[in-house]
Amino acid sequence: MTVTENRYQAPAAAPELTHREILEILIGLLAALFTAMLSSTIVSNALPTIIADLEGSQTQYTWVLTASLLATTVSTPIWGKLSDLMSKKLLVQLAIILFVIGSALAGMAHNVPFLIGARVLQGLAMGGLMALAQAIIGAAIPPRDRGRYSGYMGAVMAVATVSGPLIGGVIVDTSWLGWRWCFYVCVPLAVISLVMLQKYLHLPLLKRRVKMDYLGAILISAAASLPLIWVTFAGQDFDWVSWQSAVFVGGTLLFGLLAVLVETKAAEPLVPLKVVRQRTTALAIVASLAVGVAMFGSALFLGQYFQIARGYSPTEAGLLTIPMMLGSFIGSVGSGQLITRFGKWKRYLIAGGILLVIGLAILGTIDHTSPYWYVGLGMLSMGIGMGMMMQNLVLAVQNTVDVTEIGASSATVSFFRSLGGAVGVSVLGAVLAARVKDLLIQGLLAGPGGPEAVRKLQEGGGGTSLLDVGHLPPQLAELVRHSYGDATGRIFLIAAACGLVSLLAVLFIKEVPLRRTVAKLEPTLEDVLDD
């Protein structure tokens, strides 16, 4: 009974924050969030240079990206649950400190395994920052006013996701900096955000006995990790249809089932199933999975498309993705402002889903000869769609739960979005690699000395030499460019199919009017009149 009483006493005792107070909190919070999201994408354009300098392999190339996404995915629900049980301010400060340490270690890496370990540390911190940022906003701002501020958060996440490759490209192309500054550049902003949050972040602390669901955390982490490891190695180290694949799939199902059983009986479940069973949350989770595949999976390969298939420098490749960055900003901020003004949110999710599918479908038809205006149109539509959906899915879920569950519910949506992104990067990367290899073999067989050239390709196919197009023989370089350009469309078609699933999910979400209180209380006369 004590927990139930505290659930409503704390929010009632806390005065509503002013617009200025909210902005002071948001500045530090969004600075930390921008830094975390930036670190996940800034290496994309720099990665060919990093792997070449550290003499890594193609598998290690993938794992530098996948490791941080995996760590983010498995840690997000843990951070979210802790935020419902402990001080959100203390937790977000710990996450920032952990991120600074991971970034500094990544910049000092002298081999790929060490770099991957540092990226895992970064990923753990990123999971905390993403979960806690949403939990803090949910605990400080009523849903009716949250659209505007969630729009700011969505814009920061979108801009960081898309501008990361541009910043990374500029750093790599600047001779007196070098790729290590792709990690060092994140440190100062993180420190500034730490100081800002220490000064301005003041939230009521719900005093509850902490009962961490350790077994649930282990099982959920295992269920999320196994499929990512499987899609990373399947097709290279073993066949997709093999006993190894059966072990990975069977293990995923087993750990997933055990996780559900444990979460059903846990006193403080890591992922509250009563929230997940709600129609809005369940459909938002499905939509978030698809959005994650589209956002992380497909956007990450645009830089590779522009560099390898079209021959642009890392800086130019980053500049060419500006339409997607602009679209994400417009979609996120614009929809947030409109939601706050009119109180309706489902229409923007549907519009975002339609634009996301259209953009991905356009990009699904590109090849190595596609005009830039056509590629830019697809990026713009995809960006607007992502911006309109990303934070508004979290808003829809937060509106259905009490403030004492805001962390776990927000983290659940973020968890599945990150899971979709991690799986998207792995699966789309595997599809792209397989398609590029097929096209290269077809091209080599059509030329002189075909069988011998194919044999050499297969013997050296695990290296990174094909990514360094500038140092390949002219004829092979041209074939590699054509192969990458023609293969890229296929991964966007897969992402478009995921986007269609996301659209179908939001179509069936029931629109619940946004409440005007932080805590979930009985509806007031004003809320009834608004309905």
Whether the predicted pLDDT of 387 surpasses 90: no
Top pLDDT among 142 and 198 is at 198
Q: How far is CA 516 from CA 73, 328, 509, 513, 519, in A?
A: 31, 27, 21, 9, 9
Let me know if 285 is exposed, middle or buried by CB neighbors in 10 A (0-12, 13-18, 19+): buried
Question: What mean pLDDT do residues 189-198 have?
Answer: 81
Q: What angle do CA 422, 425, 426 make, to 5 degrees?
A: 85
Measured CA to CA, the distance from residue 340 to residue 19 in angstroms comes to 13
Percent over 90 (pLDDT), the chain: 8
The pTM of this model reads 0.73
Quick check: 33 and 153 in contact, CB under 8 A?
A: yes
The predicted-structure confidence for 224-280, as pLDDT tens digits, reads as follows 778 877 877 776 677 878 888 899 889 989 998 998 888 888 777 777 777 677 777
* Residue labelled with tokens 């959906």: 389
Measured CA to CA, the distance from residue 229 to residue 217 in angstroms comes to 18
Top pLDDT among 399 and 53 is at 53
Quick check: 59 and 37 in contact, CB under 8 A?
A: no
Confidence (pLDDT) at 509? 84
Question: What mean pLDDT do residues 158-162 have?
Answer: 70
Confidence (pLDDT) at 526? 42
Question: What mean pLDDT do residues 209-226 have?
Answer: 77
Question: What mean pLDDT do residues 23-42 have?
Answer: 77
Quick check: 371 and 316 in contact, CB under 8 A?
A: no
Among 51-60, 115-124, 367-376, 506-515, the least confident range = 51-60
Percent over 70 (pLDDT), the chain: 77
Top pLDDT among 88 and 252 is at 252
Segment of 44-48, 162-166, 312-316 carrying the highest mean pLDDT = 312-316
489-520 burial: b if 16+ Cβ within 10 Å, else e: bbbbebbbbbbbbbbebbeebeebbbbbbbbb
Confidence (pLDDT) at 432? 82
Top pLDDT among 182 and 25 is at 182
Whether the predicted pLDDT of 359 surpasses 90: yes
Whether the predicted pLDDT of 14 surpasses 60: no
Torsion-angle region of 517 (φ positive above 0: left; ψ -120 to 50: alpha; else: beta) = beta
DSSP 331-357: HHHHHHHHHHHH---HHHHHHHHHHHH
Question: What mean pLDDT do residues 374-397 have?
Answer: 86
Question: What mean pLDDT do residues 432-451 have?
Answer: 74
Q: For residue 422, how many other CB atoms are within 10 A of its CB?
A: 31
Minimal CA–CA distance to 177: which of 57, 24, 49?
A: 49
Q: Report the chain's mean pLDDT, rounded to a whole number.
A: 76
Quick check: 389 and 356 in contact, CB under 8 A?
A: yes
Whether the predicted pLDDT of 494 surpasses 70: yes
- Could you tell me what percentage of the chain is helix, strand and coil, using 3-state DSSP and rounding each to the nearest 5? 80, 0, 20
At residue 41, the 3 state secondary structure works out as helix
Top pLDDT among 316 and 161 is at 316
Top pLDDT among 477 and 494 is at 494
Question: What mean pLDDT do residues 382-410 have?
Answer: 75
Confidence (pLDDT) at 13? 41
Top pLDDT among 205 and 221 is at 221
73-97 burial: b if 16+ Cβ within 10 Å, else e: bbbbbbbbbbbbbbebbebbbbbbe
pLDDT category, 136, cuts 50, 70, 90?
confident
Question: What mean pLDDT do residues 504-526 have?
Answer: 65
Whether the predicted pLDDT of 456 surpasses 70: no
